[in-house]
Copies of this chain bind each other. A is one copy, B any other.
Amino acid sequence: MDERTLITRYFAGRQAGRGDVVLGIGDDAAVLRLEAGWDLVVATDTIAEGTHFPAGIPARAIGHRCLAVNLSDLAAMAAEPLWCSLALSLPKAGPPWLEEFSAGLLALADRSGTALIGGDTVRGPLAATVTVQGRVRPGKAVTRSGARAGDGIWVTGNPGDAVAGRLLLDAPGQVPAAVRDTLCQRFLYPEPRLREGLALGALATAMLDVSDGLHDDIGKLMAASGTGAELDAGLLPLSAALKAAAAGRAVDYALTGGDDYELCFTAPDAVTGRLQQLAAGWDVPVTRIGTVVSEPGLRWRHQGSALVVPDTTFRHF
């Protein structure tokens, strides 16, 4: 199969359009119209087999995931997605695999209003790089650097579920099937918090998405803001499934597991009421787990004692 056939059959002809795509897949580049009064927001992330996901997971999940992790970055800026491109490295390309991969990618693309506008394919180890473009009103992007001492530190969803799901993919152990399924789905099909991120644009002082583990990512946010944090692990919104599967390690999973693709943000006390009102309409919980302080560094407590969280910063190189 040549590249053109692959692209036409599995990608170009299978998506809902957007009126602002002047020229889509098939030329040297795409041409796009950004409405006046918006800034462009761009993120690029790669997911590679063996590093970001284990071999053998469903192609549909890989297709979903490569877009989801990028949309999650847009959500963390309080941006709205517009377009994406895909660079796909494939060891082989059986029609059933491609069918499922593109179905996973395009289902999320359509649901989030993101048009696939181009890309590239290359023969190689399985990896997918997506670049996503979104928009935000000038000055309204929520960066990592706006946290202020006294702000609350909040997180969406149930951190720790995804890493537990990842571990259960390979070693189901003694965990009940329903628990395992719930957690594996959370790893395989992370849901970018786009609606929540957009809404938080009006309330949050700083925000990022939790991909490397809550402890590590809160550390990045505080470092960018020149602040520190006091946090209570007892406040972590551990899911019933996580507690059932991980028992005594649930807090570890939530703090250092990664792959959550939840939003972590800071907000002043004055907006807590509005935040809770907003969040009442969400499918996902939002939980305050700590407070920003001026002294740098993260200080976790758990059940009244200091909790030392190991440095798990992932070193690729």
Contact = CB atoms under 8 A, between A and B. Distances in A.
A73 B85 CA distance: 14
Contacts of A224: 26-27
Given A315-B2, A316-B123, A317-B92, A43 B29 contact: yes
Contacts of A33: 39-40, 138
A42 B83 contact: yes
Contacts of A127: 89, 122, 124, 127
B22 A39 contact: yes
Contact of A317 (B30, B77, B85, B90): B90
A123 to B, nearest CB: 4
Interface residues of A, number: 70
A1 B315 contact: yes
Interface string A67-83: 00000011011010001
A51 B91 CA distance: 12
Interface string A120-148: 11111101010101101010010111000
A119 interface: yes
A119 to B, nearest CB: 5
B119 A44 contact: yes
Contacts of A315: 1-3
Contact of A121 (B39, B92, B316): B316
B123 A317 contact: yes
Given A33-B39, A119-B44, A209 B89 contact: no
A177 interface: no
Contacts of A120: 44-46, 129
Interface in A221-262: 224
Nearest to A47: B122
A39 B315 CA distance: 39
Nearest to A145: B27
A300 B243 CA distance: 71
Interface string A272-310: 000000000000000000000000000000000000000
Contact of A87 (B22, B44, B90, B138): B44
Contacts of A45: 87, 120
Given A31-B39, A33-B40, A122-B127, 7 more contacts: A3-B317, A31-B41, A32-B39, A44-B85, A45-B87, A51-B123, A87-B129
7 residue pairs, one from A and one from B, having the closest CB atoms: A29-B43, A131-B131, A93-B317, A28-B76, A87-B129, A44-B85, A28-B73
21 contacts: A1-B315, A2-B316, A6-B317, A26-B144, A27-B143, A28-B73, A28-B209, A29-B43, A29-B79, A32-B41, A33-B39, A33-B138, A40-B40, A40-B133, A42-B131, A44-B85, A44-B119, A44-B129, A46-B89, A51-B122, A92-B317
